[in-house]
Amino acid sequence: MEEKRLHTDSLKNEVPTLRAGEKVFLSGTVFTARDAAHARIFSLLDADAPLPFEIKNAVIYYAGPTPQKPNGQIGSFGPTTSARMDGFSPRLLNLGLAGMIGKGNRSKEVIDAIVANGAVYFCAGGGFGALISKSIVAMEEIAFPELGCESVKQLEVRDLPLIVGVDACGRSIFDREKN
């Protein structure tokens, strides 16, 4: 399989061409959110309150960085286990979320929502947080600063190395029977 270079601005158009197991390099805007941030986002959705970022066509990275280094360099930025967000993901996908980045398998409900909404799940290498941080060219905390490393951050990434974990057809790198 060849490598693909993708940009978040046009990701939704590219999703149908992606295949599970394919190596991609993603550039553009990505938002971080882990468990606590997802819970806060859901509270805002339930209250019909403004969200910290537009969900439609967004990409969420399930990560929280280690502290920034004294020289201003971003700390290690590895993925967290995606299954912890499975209870939240179908609703966000139904609202137009284009992609998710994390590590590990996803539930049947999430895979069904990926297929129904023409989205994608990317896997980032667990243990590669230092390498991943080199692809982050800018970071701004945009919501829930009291959550510390779990606050929502807006990242600008360049050539973030990823693998398509679950494609828009529901094929998964974790499903040995279908691969």
Model pLDDT for residues 149-160, shown as the tens digit of each residue: 899 999 999 999
Q: Which residues pair with 160 in a beta bridge?
A: 26
Joined together, the tokens standing for residue 45 give 């959705």
For the chain, domain boundaries = 4-166
156 within 8 A of 138, measured Cβ to Cβ: yes
Model pLDDT for residues 57-102, shown as the tens digit of each residue: 999 999 977 767 676 667 778 888 999 999 999 999 999 999 999 9
Q: Confirm whether 38 is a catalytic residue.
A: yes
From the list 151, 55, 63, 150, the residue with the least C-alpha distance to 102 is 63
- The catalytic position among 34, 38, 40, 153 is 38
Q: What is the pLDDT of residue 177?
A: 59
Rg (CA), the chain: 15
Question: What gap in Å lies between CA 44 and CA 52, rounded to an integer?
Answer: 9
The CATH number given to 4-166 is: 3.20.130.10
